[in-house]
Chain A
């Protein structure tokens, strides 16, 4: 689509089914997508007793009380839980990036006995609903005396048990032309070198995707964090957020919304930072 060389005022630009329409559609669509989030933000600024009585988007009274109350409502200031979550999440991201890419490279590029069997087993592991595996798993970690440590949350990631990401990276690696590996091999590179120097740099989008999703899913993961970190000193954000709600009596909706918004900050920030790496892997030339 040709763009006019001279800047034309927005309203007078020719209506050519081009950018404006596209932007308008995207923005309109974005608003529909965002309505619930906007409602949540607006609710977080309403006095608590008005949240359900005045369901409109625009608050008639604005208060910061939910934020100040929510921050201090629990045993520790909310920042404490953010930090706990950051530790668990950060370690998980690093572990997943390393362990899953190692396994993915083997599945995608190397030949070895029983490969099919192992691959099937890997995918099979995510086909059982976690509600039935969580009890045996808890029993195991409890016997190891690891309850209320971060090991039950991080160890599975260190040991590459997340088939989603292995499979994801396998698929990405397999879109890369094999000539690249072979060229490196001719230059005398071993598998490790090919992995580090050739495959990984070209998989940057896949690595970024893995990092983003690991971050988000770990940050939001509720049940395993509740089970394994059930001492109030170890609480993470999702667990802390639930404590604002109590189906059987009084819920603190306002602080819950306010702290939810705050808890969205880190994931959103990580997402923004991570998506920058969703760049073209092989721009024009693949290898030097």
Chain B
């Protein structure tokens, strides 16, 4: 399960030391303050979040068409998923490939550009805006058309290849390449992590750099010993969230493949398959079971992420 921020690399050192002159009265006061700060969140948890989560867990053990009452069927949905449904396993595979390839690429891209754009270059906000623009379009229906303009049989890529005498294929609708174009689409919308990286870079106190410069550290050294360590919480954030979001990718495949996950299931994302099961085939029970399997996968990965973070993420609040 996901570890919490309460555990951080240096807690072991700091906690006992602070605990020493920390009265119970004080910690009670602190806890009370914390719960006050969290009051809206608790209300949200109770009123909005928990209900649907519990409901979906219950529904995953039922046969539920949305149009009739749900019927309890025990583990049937889960059993069917792993024993009778090759498309389920295929969608899991497609999604895993998509996540494993596109998330590191997108983050590396976003970080690199954030570093470039963090420098004192003229017209920074202009570039930043331009690079962010694709992310504004990411979920728009127009993207499907635009992507065919670029990767279609008569698209831009093939026009460029033709200059070199290479005859391209219709990348966007070829079972071997369609997923690749969706990965590129994901990388193309790197704006959100880029902005978060940029904000993270801005958070690093410039006094650190000044001190390092006085000590004679060059740019590379500064990057390695100041920028990178201090950015790790943000890198960690982007990694965790992009993993969660990418496993749930839906819109891109939905609009580019016209809701089918085609050609030949090559872009059948997990959540797209889940959606088709729930809303086209009226099998919401099965969709809910799929959602919980995905939830367990994501939670497991996130947990591993949090455990691993102890070894590489550096928090400024640990003195």
Residues of A near any B CB (own CB < 8 A):
19, 22-23, 26, 29-30, 33-37, 39-40, 55, 99, 102-103, 105-113, 115-137, 140, 155-156, 158-161, 164, 166-168, 170-179, 190-192, 195, 202-203, 205-206, 208-209, 212-213, 216, 220, 222, 241-242, 245, 247, 256-257, 260, 264, 267-268, 271-272, 275-276, 278-286
Contacts and interface: CB of A to CB of B under 8 A. Distances in A.
A26 B116 contact: yes
B233 interface: yes
A99 B41 contact: yes
B44 A275 contact: no
B274 A132 contact: yes
- Majority secondary structure, A binding face: helix
A158 B43 CA distance: 10
B2 A123 contact: yes
B33 A120 contact: no
Contact of B132 (A122, A191, A242, A271): A271
Nearest to B44: A159
Given A112-B34, A166-B41, A177 B317 contact: yes
B206 interface: yes
Interface string B230-273: 10011011001100100010100000001000000000001100
5 contacts: A158-B40, A170-B5, A256-B142, A271-B129, A276-B125
Given A111-B34, A213-B192, A282-B207, A33 B133 contact: yes
A27 B3 CA distance: 42
Q: Looking at A124, A247, A268, which has the most chain B CB atoms within 10 Å of its CB?
A: A124
B2 A124 contact: yes
Contacts of B38: 102-103, 106-107, 118
A167 B237 contact: yes
A246 to B, nearest CB: 12
Contact of B284 (A112, A135, A159, A275): A135
Interface in B116-158: 116, 121-123, 125, 127-137, 139-143, 146-147, 149-150, 154, 156
B51 to A, nearest CB: 6
A16 to B, nearest CB: 15
Given A206-B199, A257-B142, A132 B37 contact: no
A164 B278 CA distance: 26
B103 interface: no
Contact of A205 (B34, B44, B203, B284): B203
B4 interface: yes
Interface string B1-35: 11111111000000000000000000100110111
B198 interface: yes
A118 B147 CA distance: 41
Interface string B24-67: 00010011011101111101110111011101100100000010
Contacts of A267: 136
A187 to B, nearest CB: 17
A160 B146 CA distance: 35
Contacts of A108: 5, 317
Given A176-B316, A282-B205, A106 B37 contact: yes
Contacts of A159: 40-41, 43-44, 47-48
B4 A34 contact: no
Interface stretch (B80-88, B163-171, B174-182, B295-303): B295-303
A22 B122 CA distance: 11
B173 to A, nearest CB: 17
B279 interface: yes
Contacts of A155: 47-48
A102 B131 contact: no
A158 B201 CA distance: 29
Contact of A102 (B5, B37, B125, B140): B37
Contacts of B241: 164, 167-168
A212 B299 contact: no
The 8 closest A-B pairs by CB, nearest first: A159-B44, A36-B146, A205-B199, A116-B4, A136-B55, A112-B34, A106-B37, A136-B52
A286 B150 CA distance: 48
B191 to A, nearest CB: 9
Given A102-B40, A109-B317, A171 B236 contact: yes
A161 B49 contact: yes
Contacts of A112: 30-31, 34-35
Given A103-B41, A132-B288, A161-B48, A174 B316 contact: yes
A103 B40 contact: yes
Given A127-B302, A135-B66, A179-B319, A281 B203 contact: yes
B134 A33 contact: yes
B195 interface: yes
B202 A160 contact: no
Most buried by A among B27, B56, B203, B258: B203
B133 A37 contact: yes
Given A123-B302, A175-B234, A220-B140, A275 B195 contact: yes
B93 interface: no
Nearest to B294: A129
Given A115-B4, A136-B55, A256-B142, A178 B295 contact: no
